[in-house]
Amino acid sequence: MQIIRFFFALLLLGLLAPAHALTLKPQRVAPGVYAFVGEVGGRTYDNEAMNATTGFVVTTAGVAVIDSGSSYRVGKQIHQAIRRATRQPVKLVINTGGQDHRWLGNSYFVTLGVPIIGHQNMRTDAEERGAQLIQSLQGELKEKLEGTRVVLPTQTFETRHRLRLGKTDFELIFAAPAHTPGDIMVWLPQSRVVFGGDIVVTDRLLGVFPFSSVAGGIASFDAMAALKPARIVPGHGAVCDLAKARRETRDYLVLLRDHMKRAVDAGEDLQTALDTLDQSAYSKLPNFDLLSGGNASRAYLEAEAAAF
């Protein structure tokens, strides 16, 4: 009986909670600007597939959520964390791209009746891959995926979309298809903070997938850099400056692009191009062994396609 009482007491104190359970703690980036910095590893049951960095902006007229999370449940947890930080209501959700952790939480935020904004390519991408994304998460998240469904942005735009919430200006910018076809950045000119979404990846190796564009990723990064942000909230990794973002995102993409273009121009086959590519400068980044080979192969295929 004493043992049962002991464990019950621990449960009440929260000491038996999972060691790696998802905890959303907002990090202040600038006045009114906050980031949720996620893990840099893979999607797991414990982190609820929220291995990404997202955030929110508090204005005098309400809160803008930057990326809604990886599920209905995570979207709700984001809202709860926001409510602990401010009494201002959520007035807007912005989806910066088509990866699951950018928008599957729309299924929660739609219950608040707020507009959800994303690029038109992102809406198409989410519509085409949404059911597949949910299915692929089902085995890992199990019951934690309950309530998650495909909820698309209610508003879209083509290149730039400017809006004001209270006294805060927002500029949503699309430069080119990047990590996903509809990746955008969210620029806050007054605080000189940019939410880079998956245009910027730090503290881990970025991924180049079948729906990604190396050239578009570079063009998008350059458009972001032209803003000369004081602080960057990346899509993965900790809040950083432009120099770090350039080292770990742009420089890597340029390495892939330039090497593979030279290989294709020289008539080298895929295996030769892979064997001569030196990615060792990035080998200490998490996920290197998992992603580097596929990144190189897809960069070659992109360079090959561009040559014809």
pLDDT band for position 123 (cuts 50, 70, 90) = very high
Tell me which residue has tokens 């597949």.
Answer: 132
- Whether 252 is covered by a domain: the verdict is no
Residue 182 φ then ψ, to 5°: -115, 30
- Whether 12 is covered by a domain: the verdict is no
Does this model's pTM top 0.85? My answer is yes
Average pLDDT over residues 284-301: 98
> When comparing pLDDT for 20 and 104, which is higher?
104
- Whether 112 is covered by a domain: the verdict is yes
CA–CA gap between residue 299 and residue 296 (Å, rounded): 5
CA–CA gap between residue 123 and residue 117 (Å, rounded): 9
- Whether 159 is covered by a domain: the verdict is yes
Domain ranges, residue 98: 20-242
- Whether 270 is covered by a domain: the verdict is no
- Whether 298 is covered by a domain: the verdict is no
Which SS3 state, helix, strand or coil, does residue 240 take?
A: strand
123 and 156 in contact (C-beta within 8 Å)? yes
CA–CA gap between residue 288 and residue 205 (Å, rounded): 6
- Whether 58 is covered by a domain: the verdict is yes
CA–CA gap between residue 133 and residue 222 (Å, rounded): 29
Q: Please give the tally of structural domains in the chain.
A: 1
On the CB side of 189, how many CA atoms lie within 13 Å of its CA?
11
pLDDT for 181 beyond 90: yes
> When comparing pLDDT for 6 and 241, which is higher?
241
pLDDT band for position 91 (cuts 50, 70, 90) = very high
pLDDT for 14 beyond 80: no
Tell me which residue has tokens 């080979």.
Answer: 293
Residue 68's domain is classified under what CATH number? 3.60.15.10
pLDDT band for position 23 (cuts 50, 70, 90) = confident
- Whether 84 is covered by a domain: the verdict is yes
- Output DSSP code: residue 135: H
